[in-house]
Amino acid sequence: MQFLYAIVMILVLDANAKIIDTSEHVEKLSEANIEFTLNLYKNLIEGDPMKNVMFSPVSITTALAIAHLGAKGNTAKQIDDAFMFSKIEDGRFHSAFGELHGLLFDKASEKVTAKSSNRVFADKHITVFEDYQDSLSVYSATVESVDFKMPKSAVKKINDWSSDATNGVIKSMLEEDGVNNDTALLIINALYFRGNWDYEFDEGRTKRRPFYVSKDKAVETSFMFQNEHFKYAYINELTLQVLEMDYAGTDYSMVLLMPENFDLAKVEANLNHANLTKWLSALEHESVDLTIPKFKLEETLQLQEVLPKMGVTDLFDRQACDLTGIANRNNLFVDQIVHKTVLDVNEQGSEAAATTSVRTQCDSVAFNPISFVADHPFLWAIRHRQSELLIFMGRFSRPEGPLLGHDEF
């Protein structure tokens, strides 16, 4: 029996990239990808209204696109449908997404690093087709041969590679039993993302205060504060505050969606591509007193548990799976897809503070700043502004720490 492990691993710290053409392909592609993203998000939040959620749509899409390059028949069609690859006509998905992938990543500057690394680790006993190997170049991916019959050294090789791909932040992405002598292939996308805010926070203004998990429960945590000009919108129907914070270089930004009440579920129910586009296009520069928690999240998702709910079933089914475009084996199937993300939101990058504070903006409400206090559950996303692609998305529902009752805060 042959297994295919697709492991998606990501590390984020904060964010940034480069101006790209908004060609018709890119527009369609980002619309399709956002629809997939919001759909996945809704599947991930099912069951537990209070849990933190985090994933990287771009990373998941890349790993699945790499599998899709070798998938045929219904296996390919199910990925097409769930990820909406078919919205790009005539199989041009891979060239369009590959181009976008190349433009989004591998841009490093002093303040921003965005790096996506892709590799297929194949057991040395299987022969990966030349055609498949060639097709991977669209994602700058290569195939590396390993001996999965020697699981220990295979794990070491893979961990060394991914440690390198994440600048050492994730040193051992695979557990020792992460592969076994049945493993045939591992597809890995490692995304590393780090950026300084355009307007950094002053550490001296960071204070402890309660984050309200619900009306009568709180967790004490550190909040950062600043008054600056941010893009802001208020959506009446949902009493929703929307705020966009740029990363240095302004190619990437973080969007916060926070209802004034605790009814995040209502916002989630209204979350679709058209609404999101409408809300983001309503953003205007405003003077804002911004209070947001410092947070550090680490998430591991088992995508083989959620993708079948979105119609991707054959890929994980040893009988039905058709990955015959990858290698001359008709018994390849995907055993698991592990998706790891780490996000660290902090004041970050004080050395840039002096240069970023000088900025002129049209300012009509300077003496009456809007108050944006993210002290209760909110949604966040890190997006590439030009293409509108969401690089990361999540929900922040509770900080770490003991839950305090009403009279304790």
Q: For every residue of the chain, which 3-state class applies, written as one string? A: CCEEEEEEEEEECCCCCCCCCCCHHHHHHHHHHHHHHHHHHHHHHCCCCCCCEEECHHHHHHHHHHHHCCCCHHHHHHHHHHHCHHHCHHHCHHHHHHHHHHHHCCEECCCEEEEEEEEEEEECCCCECHHHHHHHHHHCCEEEEECCCCHHHHHHHHHHHHHHHCCCCCCCCCCCCCCCCCEEEEEEEEEEEEECECCCCCHHHCEEEEEEEECCEEEEEEEEEEEEEEEEEEEHHHCEEEEEEEECCCCEEEEEEEECCCCHHHHHHCCCHHHHHHHHHCCEEEEEEEEEECEEEEEEEEHHHHHHHHCCCHHHCCCCCCCCCCECCCCCCEEEEEEEEEEEECCCCHHHHHHHCCCCCCCCCCCCCEEEECCCCEEEEEEECCCCCEEEEEEECCCCCCCECHHHC
11 close to 195: Cβ distance less than 8 angstroms: no
Question: By C-beta, is 77 or 149 nearer to ligand NAG?
Answer: 149
* Least distance from ligand NAG to the Cβ atom of residue 276, Å: 9
* Least distance from ligand NAG to the Cβ atom of residue 149, Å: 6
* Least distance from ligand NAG to the Cβ atom of residue 267, Å: 8
Question: By C-beta, is 74 or 275 nearer to ligand NAG?
Answer: 275
Question: By C-beta, is 265 or 366 nearer to ligand NAG?
Answer: 265
Question: By C-beta, is 108 or 274 nearer to ligand NAG?
Answer: 274
What residue ranges bind ligand NAG (CB under 6 A)?
149, 180-181, 235, 237-238, 270, 272, 274-275
Question: By C-beta, is 123 or 200 nearer to ligand NAG?
Answer: 123
* Least distance from ligand NAG to the Cβ atom of residue 107, Å: 34
* Least distance from ligand NAG to the Cβ atom of residue 269, Å: 9
* 283, two tokens: 């953003």
* Least distance from ligand NAG to the Cβ atom of residue 157, Å: 18
Question: By C-beta, is 18 or 149 nearer to ligand NAG?
Answer: 149
187 close to 160: Cβ distance less than 8 angstroms: no
Question: By C-beta, is 20 or 150 nearer to ligand NAG?
Answer: 150
* Least distance from ligand NAG to the Cβ atom of residue 268, Å: 11
Question: By C-beta, is 77 or 273 nearer to ligand NAG?
Answer: 273
* Least distance from ligand NAG to the Cβ atom of residue 154, Å: 13
Question: By C-beta, is 219 or 235 nearer to ligand NAG?
Answer: 235
* Least distance from ligand NAG to the Cβ atom of residue 181, Å: 4
